[in-house]
Amino acid sequence: MNNIAYTPFQDPESLYALNEALLEAEDLRGLNLLMSFTGFSDAGHVINQIAGELTDHLAAEPVAVFDVDQLIDYRSRRPRMTFTEDHLSDYQAPSLVLYRMVDALGKPFLFLSGSEPDLQWERFTLAVLGLVRRLDVNLTAWVHSVPMPVPHTRPIGATVHGNRPELIEGISAWKTTLDMPSAIGHLLEYRLAAEGRNVVGYAIHVPHYLADAEYPPAAVAGLEYLGAAASLMLPSERLREAGRAVERQITEQVEGSAEVQAVVKNLERQYDEHSDGTARRSLLAGDNDELPDADELGAAVEAYLASRDAGPSAGKSTGRPDDGDSGNI
């Protein structure tokens, strides 16, 4: 029953408005498509950082704008507003847009970004597949991030999936079979692969004790994976600089607690034990492939970081996601 063809009651194309002027002025066929959605798992605020970096630093034109009123449950993910002294000064409306962008070397690509739909997944998927067919997208690459029991002192890993072996083999730090909650990116990848379209996805591993904080090194890793897959030069220097500052803060915090140091060393030992060989077991699973008790792995770290004074020096690193649930894996 899982593979029964779905026929929407309404035309999928009515979910979005096309920028006809752009489509008439420029041939967008054959480009690579990058995707990122908030709302599923954004450990380390990776998705928000990647989307912000691309939209802030690269020229972007909307190709298709989706009707979020049909896709978003506002009461489950209430948009943010700003109250300034005696009036409402800003409303952060959800959005879901397909952009045409140009990288640092002048190479054009497509970027689908915004809030993950709460509703009409099948219809939205058909709408995206229709755009992929119309624009004859060459490769679709998407990214999200998950909390993992890994130390911040080791290279950031990723679980890679899709149907492009040259982009997958030798990269994944996690190879296992898992029944998990899905994201819209997973469904899009599944449908694209079923059509024989080139697709690859990256789940960036964020140290679980930093999952609720803004962790720029993980966003840099996500940009690097996307850029390598799509042969793009994506901006990351600002995030690299921010990452160096965050790493200094973490080092100071770890050095200030012997208990935290012990937990980090245990995570380092676990990481190193599983890093030997090409076929690596899941860093998330124990010896019997059971999920470890989070208390055993990082309670000391989480308690310490949660109890520290969130003063001005912490900057954005103490923020929490505005959209989504970073606890889903």
Q: For residue 270, what is the domain's CATH number?
A: 3.40.50.10900
| pLDDT for the residue numbered 141 | 98
Indicate whether 102 belongs to any domain.
yes
| pLDDT for the residue numbered 195 | 96
Residue 287 CA to residue 216 CA, distance in Å, equals 31
pTM confidence score: 0.80
Indicate whether 31 belongs to any domain.
yes
Indicate whether 87 belongs to any domain.
yes
Question: Who contacts 28 (Cβ-Cβ below 8 Å, separation ≥6)?
Answer: 22, 63, 100, 108, 110, 135
Indicate whether 325 belongs to any domain.
no
Residue 153 CA to residue 240 CA, distance in Å, equals 15
| pLDDT for the residue numbered 276 | 62
| pLDDT for the residue numbered 3 | 63
Question: Who contacts 135 (Cβ-Cβ below 8 Å, separation ≥6)?
Answer: 28, 29, 30, 31, 33, 110
Q: Which two tokens stand for residue 87?
A: 């009036």
Indicate whether 4 belongs to any domain.
no
Within 13 A of 219's CA, how many CA atoms are on the CB side?
A: 31
Strands (E), 116-254: 140-148, 158-162, 199-207
| pLDDT for the residue numbered 187 | 97
| Number of domains comprising the chain | 1
Q: Which residues of the chain have pLDDT under 70?
A: 1-5, 172-175, 276-329
| pLDDT for the residue numbered 24 | 93
Indicate whether 324 belongs to any domain.
no
| pLDDT for the residue numbered 2 | 59
Could you list the residue range(s) of the whole structural domain that residue 61 is in? 12-318
Indicate whether 161 belongs to any domain.
yes
- In a 10 Å sphere around its CB, with 0-12 CB exposed, 13-18 middle and 19+ buried, how is residue 246 labelled? buried
| pLDDT for the residue numbered 271 | 87
Residue 217 CA to residue 245 CA, distance in Å, equals 10
State the maximum Cα–Cα separation within the chain, in Å, rounded to a whole number. Answer: 63
The model's pLDDT over 24-51, given as tens digits with 9 standing for 90+, comes to 999 999 999 999 999 888 899 999 999 9
Tokens 């208990």 found at: 259
Bridge partners (DSSP) of residue 102 are 108
Within 13 A of 55's CA, how many CA atoms are on the CB side?
A: 18
Indicate whether 328 belongs to any domain.
no
| pLDDT for the residue numbered 132 | 98
Strands (E), 177-302: 199-207
